[in-house]
Amino acid sequence: MARKRELLDDVQRALIAFFKKNTSEEWLTLREIASAIWVNHPQTVLNKLNQLVLKWYFVKDNSWYRLVRESVQSKFDDIIQIPVFGFAQCGNKWKAVIDDYSQEKIPVTLAFIGTSDVQNCFFVRAKWNSMEPKIQDGDLVLIRQQANYDPNDFVFIVHNELPKLKKIIKEENKFYLESVNRFFDKVELSKYDESKIIWVVKKIIKSV
């Protein structure tokens, strides 16, 4: 069955063309973008950008918009489906989580995830506020399996059957789980704990 062609209006096409040409667009205001593409109201620009996020032409990173899919004529052939797992479902054995709970999927481009190794990628929905302001409640977090992690990475770890997004730090030959939110204490990784580093945080999609 042929895929239905994706329709974009004139403003959406103009925004894609504008962001493609202006790669350093973060310094521009909505009003300046509206003026550049001959739109009367900045709110129209905001609305159209959010629509393009839903169509996966843009992602919203750090409260601004980034173009991830340039061609307005492109088909869905470059779109792949990445599963989403909620934290509440991740307390079981990891294989069971993948096999039994991958109900929701998000369409993304290979350019966005930065790898063709899509079998080792998934999303989780962040809950609560221990990683604010970097990761906020409701954000979608892209996780990718890899052989190791950098000390500056955020990791997805199952610690005593509780899935967590944290940094792992080492102090005086001890390892700790560290939150970004300064109101949360570090948690020592004891030798008696059951801990498994699942994968590394690669991207954060802010909740719109």
- Write 94-101 long-range contacts (CB < 8 A, 24+): 94/158, 94/196, 94/198, 98/122
165 closest CA partner among 202, 119, 193: 202
The encoded tokens of residue 38 equal 């001959």
Its pTM surpasses 0.85: no
N residues, the chain:
208
pLDDT tens figures, 140-154: 888 888 778 888 888
Q: Which SS3 state, helix, strand or coil, does residue 152 take?
A: coil
What is the structure's pLDDT at 79?
66
Residues above pLDDT 70, as percent of the chain: 79
Q: How far is CA 120 from CA 12, 109, 111, 117, 204, in A?
A: 32, 15, 15, 6, 17
Say if residues 124 and 135 touch (Cβ distance below 8 Å).
Answer: no
For the chain, list the domains and their CATH numbers. 10-67 (1.10.10), 78-205 (2.10.109.10)
Residue 172, pLDDT > 50, answer yes
CB 20 within 8 A of CB 58: no
Which letter does DSSP use for residue 194 in this model?
A: -
pLDDT band at 208 (very low <50, low <70, confident <90, very high): low
Minimal CA–CA distance to 167: which of 158, 159, 156?
Answer: 156
pLDDT range class, residue 177, cuts 50, 70, 90? confident
